[in-house]
Structure 1
Amino acid sequence: MKTSKSIFKIGIALCLGVLTFSSCKKNLPEERLSIANDSKYNVTVFQPVLGRSTLFNNIFQYGNSSRPLDFKIVNMRTFDGEPAPELTEHYPVLVWKGIYNGTEKSIEEIEAKRTIENHPLFDIRPHSGDFIMWASANSNMIKAQPDSGYVFDVEMSNSGGRKYFQNMRLMPLRERPYEPSNLDPITGQGTSVSVNPTSVFMAGQRGQYFNTRDDVQVLFKKTGNGNSLTIKFIDSLSNPIDPNNFDETDWENLVHGFNMKKDDKQVKYDVAYPIPLSSYPTRYTTVSGDQAHMVFRYSRMAFGNVLQKNYLTFNFKIFEKADWELTFWFKRDKPKFDND
């Protein structure tokens, strides 16, 4: 009988112990996330070009900090310590809401994939710490070099605490609405009247070949506030060259444009800006997708009954929405289109 009572008492004690343990376990505090001292930014000075959207990513080293993390810009100020409302207030910017892939059939289809949102012009992605400088019509309010620019701090936090990265620098460069550019990034003034194509090989009327980039000049000209891109060719005396001479050019797919109009002086497209629209590789871009890619081609029979493939290539970007003209100036000679 004593044995039975003892077993019963032991059973009661075990049950009470389990209940007590379960109760204690419920009251244990939740595990807190950590903020590590080895978390840091690998880049602390940012020099975006105004007038274009620029993403600074893969610049934060998480170290042993627990994720998710929250980031925000705090204490944005000028280099002299004054408030900088131009960088703390929100402004309308154009943001992709759909995926651009280069198969869109109209400007309307492209615009349906974009929307207007309000953001600070220099923004931070709240969970990665990446920065973005947005393209905006309000960019002209931002202090650009040679001004010393801005100083700001970043607050990183999670449930385990917070950490500050102080005295980071924002030193924007002046707008350059196209690349390659003949504009100085500090003064914004032109250093030449034109830029060079990417590559060229063409026969000249006087027997010499266009085979260096300096043999042809490319001039950018803004003619209005619309959505068009016009391509022209001129000889050394500025006389127009008929685009139809470049008869192996894929004019319909030269750029991601619409409503092409071609005559004996120019080729014009309706386009959406910027060009290219994103860094996604398409039939209209370089392999990386970073630049638009145009090739003008024609063939002729050279001396000795040799088939000669002539070409001119140009990789470029245009950031500012407008009516733009691209003029290819053969400054030394006129291309030879006839057979020998």
Structure 2
Amino acid sequence: MNSVKKIMINKKQLTAVCAVFVLLLPVMFSACKKLLPTDRDTFNLEARFTQTIYKPVLGRTTLMSNNFDSQNSTLPLTFRIVNPRNNDGQVAPELIKPFDVLVWKKAYTGTEQSLAEIEAKRAIEKHPLFEVREHSGEFILWAAANNSVLKSLPDSGYTFDVEVTNNGGRRYFNNMKLQPYKERPYEPNSMDAVTGASSNAPIRPTTVLNMLGERTSTALTANDINVYLNRIGDGNSLTIRFLDSTQHVINPNKFNLTKWEKLVHGFNLEKTNTYIKYDVAFPIPLVNIPTAYTTIDGRQAQLIFSYDRLGFGGIKELGGFSFNFSIYQQGAWEIIFWFNRDNPKFENE
């Protein structure tokens, strides 16, 4: 009987102890949490910008990337441009003031079927002309920054600082430089990058293949073709013309194998005996991705003109040339190809 009582008492004591233990669990757990190491963001003081002087070309939207080494700092980092100033140390309001810039809201693919479809993928937003992407450290100079808005070389340009933070720390990178080059509305060109003056050196096609001269029957080379890119007014168009050695018009139909519908990403093709014209969106190319209208790397548009003729013995010969280019300024543009020494031989033997 006594043993039964003891067991009952022990059960009561055990129940009381368990109740106390349950009540103490949160306190014990909290205490353990304080003793355990916690995950904290780290900011490695060795983190750095790998490039501190930036020299983009005005008039082009330029992304300056792969320029920050986080040294395994905890991501995301947050970047902010602070204290942008002129070379005299005064605030540079032109770098702070928001401007209208054209921003892609949907991806351009190169398969769009109209100007309206392209423009529906872009929108105007307010941005500083020069800014840093918040979590990557990449800098952007927007195309709206032109010669009339920002200073350019040989002026020493602008100095700015960048604040980089995460929950583990903060650091300022001081006295970074923005020293843009003057606008060059198209590539290739003969303009000096610093002064903007033209050397008048001729622009040549990119390749010439199996073209013979009409009078000389000698091979035509790139030196036998001058290329001129001219902005002739406002608008959204690109016109292509060919001139012979006496500067008379060559009928574009002579380049009979040219795929005019696929030549540029343009619309409302106007094909005449004197020129080819397209409605186009600018810049050309619109973005740096490979499409049916660009070079393999997507950095330039590519024009390919070709034709065939019967040579000696009735053998079919293929000839033609290509021209890689970019145009950054909106307008009505024309590209003229002048055969300066001899005309292409289009006729059969």
- TM-score bucket of the superposed structures, by smaller chain: over 0.9
Aligned to 1:294: 303
Aligned to 2:62: 54
Aligned to 1:190: 198
SS in 2 for 1:91: strand
Partner of residue 22 from structure 1, selected from 17, 21, 29? 29
Identify the range of structure 1 (172-181 vs 204-213) with the bigger mean alpha-carbon deviation: 204-213
Q: Between Structure 1 and Structure 2, how many residues are aligned?
A: 340
| Cα displacement (A) at 1:123 | 1.0
| C-alpha RMSD of matched pairs (Å) | 2.0
Aligned to 1:335: 344
Alpha carbons 1:210, 1:216 under 8 Å: kept: no
Distance in 2 (CA, whole Å) between partners of 1:24 and 1:112 is: 59
| Cα displacement (A) at 1:301 | 1.4
Partner of residue 168 from structure 1, selected from 176, 191, 203? 176
TM, length-normalised to structure 2: 0.92
Distance in 2 (CA, whole Å) between partners of 1:231 and 1:5 is: 101
Distance in 2 (CA, whole Å) between partners of 1:210 and 1:257 is: 32
Partner of residue 177 from structure 1, selected from 175, 185, 196? 185
Partner of residue 262 from structure 1, selected from 258, 262, 271? 271
Q: Deviations over 1:175-201 (max 9, x none)?
A: 000011111111111111531110012
Alpha carbons 1:194, 1:220 under 8 Å: kept: no
Distance in 1 (CA, whole Å) between partners of 2:213 and 2:154 is: 44
Alpha carbons 1:98, 1:114 under 8 Å: kept: yes
Partner of residue 294 from structure 2, selected from 281, 285, 291? 285
Superposed, 1:137-176 pairs within 5 Å as: 139-176=147-184
Structure 2 residue ranges without an equivalent (≥5): 1-5
Alpha carbons 2:146, 2:183 under 8 Å: kept: no
Q: 1:8 to 1:194 in 2, by over 3 A?
A: same
The higher radius of gyration belongs to: 2
Distance in 2 (CA, whole Å) between partners of 1:105 and 1:228 is: 16
Residue 156 of structure 2 is aligned to residue 109 of structure 1: no
Structure 1 residue ranges without an equivalent (≥5): none
Partner of residue 141 from structure 2, selected from 112, 115, 133? 133
SS in 2 for 1:11: helix
Partner of residue 320 from structure 2, selected from 304, 311, 334? 311
Q: 1:303 to 1:96 in 2, by over 3 A?
A: same
Distance in 1 (CA, whole Å) between partners of 2:93 and 2:145 is: 16
| Cα displacement (A) at 1:84 | 0.6
Q: 1:198 to 1:207 in 2, by over 3 A?
A: same
One-letter code aligned to 1:265: T
| Cα displacement (A) at 1:13 | 5.4
Identify the range of structure 1 (29-38 vs 65-74) with the bigger mean alpha-carbon deviation: 29-38
SS in 1 for 2:26: helix
Partner of residue 234 from structure 2, selected from 225, 245, 254? 225
Residue 207 of structure 2 is aligned to residue 199 of structure 1: yes
Alpha carbons 2:129, 2:145 under 8 Å: kept: no
Residue 82 of structure 2 is aligned to residue 71 of structure 1: no
Distance in 2 (CA, whole Å) between partners of 1:138 and 1:326 is: 23
Residue 335 of structure 2 is aligned to residue 326 of structure 1: yes
Identify the range of structure 1 (194-203 vs 317-326) with the bigger mean alpha-carbon deviation: 194-203
Q: Deviations over 1:29-72 (max 9, x none)?
A: 97541211121111111100000000011211111211111111
Distance in 2 (CA, whole Å) between partners of 1:54 and 1:84 is: 20
Paired-residue identity, %: 48
Distance in 1 (CA, whole Å) between partners of 2:239 and 2:97 is: 37
SS in 2 for 1:304: helix
Residue 10 of structure 2 is aligned to residue 11 of structure 1: no
Q: Deviations over 1:87-136 (max 9, x none)?
A: 11110000000111111111111101000001111111001111111001
